[in-house]
């Protein structure tokens, strides 16, 4: 009995040193951020916890605009990413055998750093970029300056484009792995009963892949909401995403701005945790419904 239990816990024992360090670093960072967001900053003589910083930040128009902008970018990019990624995943399973070139091409963006992805999007979508010049030479534009502003714009088109290029391959990788292991007998039976391709997808593949799709959505949404590099390089000066707004306050020489920075970061953390809880509830309800 002891050997069986030891064998079960053996991998966790081996991983415990690394997991302990990661847990302490994460927990320490969260506790430090929480204490400073509550105004506990002894180096500045702030020893009494208070919620006044939360009240000031949450009632600030700049914060509210940044929150709306951040949620818009995260939701839009995540939904588009999931829809496009699931579509391509379904197309991949229709291919006979594995195409090495296709596998290489869709996985390539995953290994490209976000800074490089931002530079690529900038060079393509800026008003003097490749796309505008191409449209000008085709006669679609009278002047290059007439090309719509897609970078540093208030709708975050450039940010969303960079997220799509980086995150669609991730969704494909997650969902395609699930779809290709679904038993083909389900589809064969549906075909024999006269089901169309769209019905097979909606009634068989989509429900079975729903948990993996939901997990991918939560992961990319949490990343998009808290990411810094792409919004910093491609985003407008106003409104800024919450991560860029927090960075701007953090690098201020005025250390009294630090509690406001921590309120923003803790707000991001709370939003992410709430969404994860909601996701788990929804998945639990779906599981009970199917059972």
Confidence of residue 231 (pLDDT cuts 50, 70, 90): very high
CA dist., res. 214 & res. 89, Å (int)? 15
- Check whether 81 has a pLDDT greater than 60: yes
What CATH code is carried by the domain that includes residue 155? Answer: 1.10.3720.10
Residue 221 and residue 266 in one domain: yes
Residues 133, 212 within the same domain: yes
The answer to whether residues 32 and 80 belong to one domain is no
Residues 242 and 102 in one domain: yes
Q: Which of 64-68, 97-101, 196-200 has the lowest mean pLDDT?
A: 97-101
Q: CB–CB of 136/129 below 8 Å?
A: no
272 part of a folded domain = yes
State how far the Cα of 266 lies from the Cα of 260, in Å rounded to an integer: 10
Note whether 11 and 153 are same-domain residues. no
Residue 45 domain-assigned? no
Do 134 and 239 have their domain in common?
yes
Give me the pLDDT at residue 291, please: 47
- Taking only the tens place, the pLDDT of each residue in 243-254 is 999 998 888 888
Percent of the chain with pLDDT over 90: 30
Q: What is the dihedral of CA 27, 31, 34, 39, to 10 degrees?
A: -160
Domain match, 90 and 178 both: yes
Domain annotation covers residue 47: no
Residues 16 and 72 in one domain: no
Q: Of 166, 167, 163, 155, nearest to 236 (Cα)?
A: 155
How many structural domains is the chain composed of?
Answer: 2
Shared domain check, 110 and 20: no
Q: State pTM to two decimals.
A: 0.84
User: Cβ of 204: how many Cβ atoms within 10 Å?
Assistant: 18
Buried b (16+ CB within 10 A) or exposed e, 267-277: bbbebbeebee
The answer on pLDDT for 214 being more than 70 is yes
Q: Which residues contact 60 (CB under 8 A, 6 or more apart)?
A: none
* In-domain check, residue 162: yes
CA gap 103, 176 in Å, rounded: 11
Instruction: Give the side-chain half-sphere CA count within 13 A for 26.
Output: 7
Q: Please report, for the chain, how many H helices and E strands are present, in that order.
A: 13, 0
Residues 141 and 283 in one domain: yes
Q: Are residues 26 and 61 in the same domain?
A: no
In whole angstroms, what separates CA 240 from the centre of its chain?
A: 17
* Residue 39 DSSP SS3: coil
Residue 46 located in a structural domain: no
Q: Does a structural domain hold residue 199?
A: yes
CA 196 to CA 206: how far, in whole Å?
14
- Any idea which of 26-30, 121-125, 268-272 has the lowest mean pLDDT? 26-30
| Residue 118 resides in a domain | yes
> What range defines the domain where residue 190 resides?
52-290
State the burial class of residue 196 (Cβ atoms within 10 Å of its Cβ: 0-12, 13-18, 19+). Answer: exposed
Predicted confidence at residue 5, as pLDDT, reads: 62
Q: Region of 227 please: left (phi>0), alpha (psi -120 to 50) or beta.
A: beta
Give 104's contacts (C-beta < 8 A, 6+ positions apart).
none
| 8/142 same-domain check | no
For the segment 258-272, the average pLDDT, to the nearest whole number, is: 89
Any idea which of 130-144, 176-190, 242-256 has the lowest mean pLDDT?
A: 176-190
Does the residue 57 lie in any domain? yes
What percentage of the chain has pLDDT greater than the value 70? 93
Peptide bond into 239 cis (omega under 30): yes
For the four alpha carbons of 211, 275, 218 and 26, in that order, the dihedral sign comes to negative
């Amino acid at each position: 009995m002891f050997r069986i239990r030891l064998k079960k816990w053996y991998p966790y024992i081996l991983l415990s040193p690394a997991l302990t360090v990661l847990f302490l670093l994460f927990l320490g960072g969260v506790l430090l951020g929480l204490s400073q967001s509550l105004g506990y900053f002894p180096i500045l003589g702030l020893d009494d916890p208070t919620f006044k910083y939360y009240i000031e930040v949450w009632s600030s128009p700049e914060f509210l605009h940044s929150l709306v902008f951040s949620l818009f970018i995260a939701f839009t990019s995540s939904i588009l990413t999931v829809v496009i990624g699931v579509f391509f995943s379904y197309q991949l399973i229709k291919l006979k055998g594995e195409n090495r070139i296709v596998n290489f091409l869709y996985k390539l963006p995953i290994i490209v750093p976000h800074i490089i992805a931002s530079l690529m999007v900038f060079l393509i979508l800026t008003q003097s970029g490749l796309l505008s010049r191409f449209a000008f030479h085709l006669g679609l534009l009278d002047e290059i300056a007439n090309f719509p502003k897609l970078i540093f714009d208030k709708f975050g088109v450039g940010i969303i484009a960079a997220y799509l290029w980086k995150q669609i391959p991730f969704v494909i990788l997650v969902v395609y792995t699930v779809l290709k292991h679904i038993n083909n007998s389900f589809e064969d039976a549906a075909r024999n009963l006269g089901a169309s391709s769209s019905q097979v997808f909606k009634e068989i593949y989509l429900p079975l892949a729903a948990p993996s799709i939901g997990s991918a959505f939560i992961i990319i949404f949490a990343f998009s909401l808290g990411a810094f590099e792409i919004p910093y390089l491609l985003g407008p000066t106003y409104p800024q995403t919450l991560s860029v707004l927090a960075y701007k306050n953090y690098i201020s020489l005025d250390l009294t701005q630090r509690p406001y920075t921590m309120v923003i970061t803790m707000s991001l953390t709370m939003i992410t945790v709430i969404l994860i809880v909601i996701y788990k509830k929804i998945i639990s309800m779906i599981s009970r419904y199917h059972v």
